[in-house]
Amino acid sequence: MKYMTNLETKRAIELINNNEIVILPTDTIYGISAKVSEENRLKINRLKESELDKPLIILVSSLEQAEKFIELSDKAIEFLNKTYPTTVIEYNKEKTKKNAVRLVKREDLVEVINQTGPIFSTSVNKTGQNFLSSLDEFKKFLNQDGIFWSGELSKNPSNIVDLTTNEKKR
C-alpha cells in the first residue's frame, strides 16, 4: 500500500479544515470526504446527486471519536477493531439517530483525522452508479486540487454491520 506523502497529508488537512470536499484513499476504496457537518453532508449529497437527507459514513481515528456518534457497546468495539475495515451502524447515546462509523487503520488517514476531526467518506460516484477507482475518473468527477492519489486500492468496500438490526449488509 502506498501512503500519501507528508506534503499531501498536510494539504489534505488544510483543505478539509477549510470545509473543502476532497477525494482520499481509505482502507478500502477511494472516498469523497469532508469534515463532518450538516453543510458538508449536503454538499457531498448534491455532488453525488443523492437524496439530500442521505446519511454518510463517518471515519474516525479513535474510539473516543466514535463515541461522539454511536453507543460504544462491546459488540460495536469488537467490530470497529476488526482487521478488515468494518463500518458499524448504531444509535447515538440518546438513541435518537443512527450513525455509520468506521475506525480507520491507514496511517496517513489516521494523521488526517487526528488533525481535522472525524470526516465523512462515501464512494466516489453518482448515486446508483459503480464507484470510480482511477485518477482520470476522479479528475472528471471533482475538478480541483483535492484529489489525493495513492495508486490502486482493494476495490472492495468495507463490511457494514447494522447493530440496530443485527444485519450484515456486505
Q: Which domains does the chain have, with CATH numbers?
A: 6-168 (3.90.870.10)
pLDDT in tens for each of the 170 residues of the chain? 789 999 999 999 999 999 999 999 999 999 999 999 999 999 999 999 999 999 999 999 999 999 999 999 999 999 999 999 999 999 998 999 999 999 999 999 999 999 999 999 999 999 999 999 899 999 999 877 899 998 888 778 889 999 999 878 76
112, 12 in Cβ contact below 8 A? yes
Q: Annotate 114-136 with DSSP letters as a single string.
A: HHH--EEEEESS-TTSPPP-SHH
Give the residue among 86, 110, 114, 83 at the shortest CA–CA distance from 100: 86
